[in-house]
């Protein structure tokens, strides 16, 4: 199975989400592919993601994760907890710190829902931290130095022992993401 995990205030309907779904449907049509809209509450998001993973494990499916930004943070937690391989696109490293600037009302342009980021969200996010990567062979990290949302060097420091691609320039959405999909799928050992 492949579980695509979108970032904060995003959706499976984001450009990366749509590109990923289209590519997987075309090249791996029989692969179980999960791409949930995550709840805004981190604890509920992890609960949903863990339930998908545990169902897949119950069916004997191989675990594969593809996470962007906050989704990369969640994918790290899941791959370390359950096993499997994970590709992280401009992953958040300490989102509980970033949330300080986002406390208060938010609006998701994809779901058109308003929600509130609270200090409790920060506490929950910290609960899912993987401060040290114990299984570096499980991870492939793609970074662009022009990320305007996250400091890419934080990810370099955290994932220094993992397979990594660092590109100059770009942005948080990862320019040229569609061109990376073949090597992402190769790392994840996708088959039909």
**Residue 168 carries which DSSP code?**
S
CB 188, CB 2: distance < 8 Å: yes
Kindly indicate the confidence band of residue 101, based on its pLDDT and cuts at 50, 70 and 90: confident
What pLDDT digit, counting tens, does each position of 8-57 carry?
989 999 999 999 999 999 999 999 999 999 999 999 999 999 999 999 99
Kindly indicate the confidence band of residue 192, based on its pLDDT and cuts at 50, 70 and 90: low
> From CA 29, how far away is CA 150, in angstroms rounded?
33
Q: What pLDDT was estimated at residue 13? A: 94
What pLDDT digit, counting tens, does each position of 75-84 carry?
999 999 999 9
Q: DSSP for 78-142?
A: HHHHH--EEEEES--S-HHHHGGGG-EEEEETTTTEEEEE-HHHHHHHHHT--SS-S-GGGEEEE
Predicted TM-score (pTM) of the model is 0.95
Domains located in the chain, CATH noted: 2-187 (3.40.50.1820)
The residue-averaged pLDDT of 120-148 equals 94
Q: Is 18 helix (H, G, I), strand (E, B) or coil?
A: helix
């Amino acid at each position: 199975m492949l579980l695509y995990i979108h970032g904060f205030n995003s959706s499976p309907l984001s450009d990366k989400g749509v590109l990923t779904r289209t590519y997987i449907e075309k090249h791996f049509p029989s692969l179980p592919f999960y791409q949930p809209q995550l709840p805004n509450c981190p604890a509920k998001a992890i609960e949903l993601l863990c339930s998908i993973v545990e169902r897949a494990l119950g069916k004997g499916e191989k675990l594969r994760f593809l996470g962007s930004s906050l989704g990369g943070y969640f994918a790290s937690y899941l791959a370390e907890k359950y096993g499997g391989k994970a590709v992280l696109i401009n992953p958040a490293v300490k989102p509980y710190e970033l949330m300080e600037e986002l406390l208060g009302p938010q609006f998701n342009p994809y779901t058109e829902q308003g929600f509130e980021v609270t200090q409790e969200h920060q506490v929950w996010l910290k609960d899912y931290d993987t401060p040290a990567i114990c299984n570096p062979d499980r991870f492939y990290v793609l970074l662009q130095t022009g990320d305007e949302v996250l400091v890419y060097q934080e990810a370099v420091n955290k994932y220094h022992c993992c397979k990594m691609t660092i590109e100059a320039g770009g942005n948080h959405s990862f320019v040229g993401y569609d061109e990376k999909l073949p090597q992402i799928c190769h790392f994840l050992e996708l088959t039909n």
